[in-house]
Amino acid sequence: AQSVTQLGSHVSVSEGALVLLRCNYSSSVPPYLFWYVQYPNQGLQLLLKYTSAATLVKGINGFEAEFKKSETSFHLTKPSAHMSDAAEYFCAVRLSGTYKYIFGTGTRLKVLA
Amino acid sequence: EPEVTQTPSHQVTQMGQEVILRCVPISNHLYFYWYRQILGQKVEFLVSFYNNEISEKSEIFDDQFSVERPDGSNFTLKIRSTKLEDSAMYFCASRGIRDRNQPQHFGDGTRLSIL
């Protein structure tokens, strides 16, 4: 069965530090992968997507993610955290042939001053 | 930038009552979705809708649920007889048709509270 695993339900980083949010997927075929961000009391906003065109994907707000097939990972990074990055981040996968997204359990990012 | 809008933002309903959650997808989008997020849990797929019919649904989407596109702009989710466990945030999403890889765009959600 297709699934997405996000390691770490809560991650804290200092302002200016590297942000690393982990996402691993299980799929027998190449998936389509997404990262969404949810700010308090708001909906899901697309950060970036992987659709097999390039393994390193750049998104909005300085975030990027690298697809590593050998590790079945799609970790989200940002070189320098900003206070405004505090939010919940969701990794999602869409299998070829279906249109539904399967979401991970989310990682709440806290940025410390 | 066009966005998906959902109303109401918060709905409080007595158990056993019917509730309709409303969504206005992005105007040129043709694929529509509902997801839900129970407090503290992950976002779960409910149903996808295309060309006036359900294209895919999850096991959560039982006979108590229905979806409809009553006109050219609205997309609704109806829960016929609500249960306490239906309390959740419900997200509507839409996607364009031109590119199958286009991501789904989500609304801000409706928080449904069943008393």
Judging contacts by C-beta atoms under 8 Å, the chain A residues touching residue B91 are 43-44
**Residue contact B91–A103, C-beta within 8 A:** no
First-residue to last-residue Cα distance in chain B: 37
Per-residue pLDDT, A6: 94
**DSSP secondary structure, A2-22, as one string:** -EEE-S-SEEEEETTS-EEE-
Angle at B22 between CA B19 and CA B23, to 5 degrees: 155
Q: Please tell me the distance from the alpha carbon of residue B41 to that of residue B19, in angstroms, as a whole number.
A: 22
Which helix (DSSP H) or strand (DSSP E) does residue A77 occupy? strand A73-78
Indicate whether B37 pLDDT > 70. yes
Cis peptide before A31 (omega within 30 of 0): no
pLDDT digits (tens, 9 = 90+) for B43-94: 999 999 998 999 999 999 999 999 999 887 899 999 999 999 999 999 999 9
Judging contacts by C-beta atoms under 8 Å, the chain B residues touching residue A106 are 42-43
pLDDT by 10s per residue, chain A, length 113: 558 999 989 999 999 999 999 999 987 677 889 999 999 878 899 999 987 778 899 999 999 999 998 899 999 999 999 999 999 999 999 877 787 899 999 999 999 99
pLDDT digits (tens, 9 = 90+) for B91-106: 999 998 766 677 899 9
Number of H helices and E strands in chain A, helices first, is 0, 12
B107/A contact by beta carbon, under 8 A = yes
**Residue contact B107–A46, C-beta within 8 A:** no
Distance from CA of B57 to the nearest CA of A (A): 9
Judging contacts by C-beta atoms under 8 Å, the chain A residues touching residue B95 are 99
**Residue contact A99–B56, C-beta within 8 A:** yes
Distance from CA of A68 to the nearest CA of B (A): 19
Give me the residues of A, 76-105, that contact B with CB < 8 A: 90, 92, 98-105
Instruction: Tell me how far CA of residue A90 lies from CA of A38, A95, B3, in angstroms.
Output: 8, 17, 19
**Residue contact B55–A36, C-beta within 8 A:** no
Per-residue pLDDT, B70: 86
